[in-house]
Amino acid sequence: MDKLFNSPGAFTPNGCLSQVEYAMEAVENSNDIIVIQTINGFLIGTEVQTDTEIEDDRKYPRNIFLIDKHIIIGVSGNIPDSKIIVDYVRIQAQQYRFVYQEDIPLNEVVKEICNIKQQFSQSKTSRPMGCSLIIAGWDRFSGHQLFKSDVSGTISNWKAVTIGSNSLTNQIILETEFKNGISLTGALALLVRIIKKKTSYTVPSKIFDVHTFIIDHEKNILIHRLSKKELNSLVKV
């Protein structure tokens, strides 16, 4: 009977999908990601668990993906699973541009992600995707938007959100200290306060990698990865 309930797509007697719960555990034991919406973009911080992840400042961390020039995704959980989703929505974004000659709306990308994750969650022949995603971006229809997608495909809209091993504590801090219209400087200060509460490290770049996602006055999208020097200087904030 236990084997029956543990098979993909099978509900337990209390109405749970055990495979979804296992996937949630993978996320809860993975890197923290924190995304804060600012007045003109986003601040994205991702936990670094090994020094090799930050050896080259020119590379994105392994759990941050650029979908299109206006959409970025952060992943916590099973990275190989997330790459299936990332590759799929990248293709959808390019096909949309080919057909309509414009950037794909963020809502379309979110819908595609939810559909594919829901299909894997309900399938009797495959397990759920073992990852949660944060999707941040801008489009001319809705402006800045920030979404979280859990392992089952459920989507929610946020102004500041976190996923990963310490997400419960981090989310409480965000909900307490975040203010609408926060500046990039204010968001950086808030991120550093969260980092300080998580660890005894005095050098932020040892445990966190930070990107800014800014929309300028001409609607150009500028993505900047803070150098180790820039990030370490914030410890005095």
> What's the pLDDT score for residue 173?
94
CA-nearest of 38, 41, 42, 37 to 216 is 41
| pLDDT tens for each residue of the chain, 237 residues long | 444 445 555 656 665 666 676 777 778 888 899 999 999 899 999 987 655 544 555 566 788 999 998 999 999 998 999 999 999 999 999 999 999 999 999 999 999 999 998 888 777 677 888 899 999 999 989 999 999 999 888 899 999 999 998 899 999 999 999 999 999 999 999 998 888 776 655 555 667 888 999 987 777 778 888 887 887 776 654
CA 155 – CA 131 distance, rounded (Å): 13
> What's the pLDDT score for residue 119?
84
State whether residue 30 is helix, strand or coil. coil
Report the phi/psi class of residue 41: left, alpha or beta, with left for phi > 0 and alpha for psi in -120 to 50: left
Q: Could you tell me the domains of the chain?
A: 2-236 (3.60.20.10)
> What's the pLDDT score for residue 4?
45
User: Which pTM was predicted?
Assistant: 0.86
Residue at token pair 């299909």: 119
CA-nearest of 119, 153, 118, 116 to 133 is 153
> What's the pLDDT score for residue 25?
77
Helices (H) and strands (E) in the chain — how many of each?
7, 10
> What's the pLDDT score for residue 100?
95
Contact (CB, 8 A) for 113 and 149 = yes
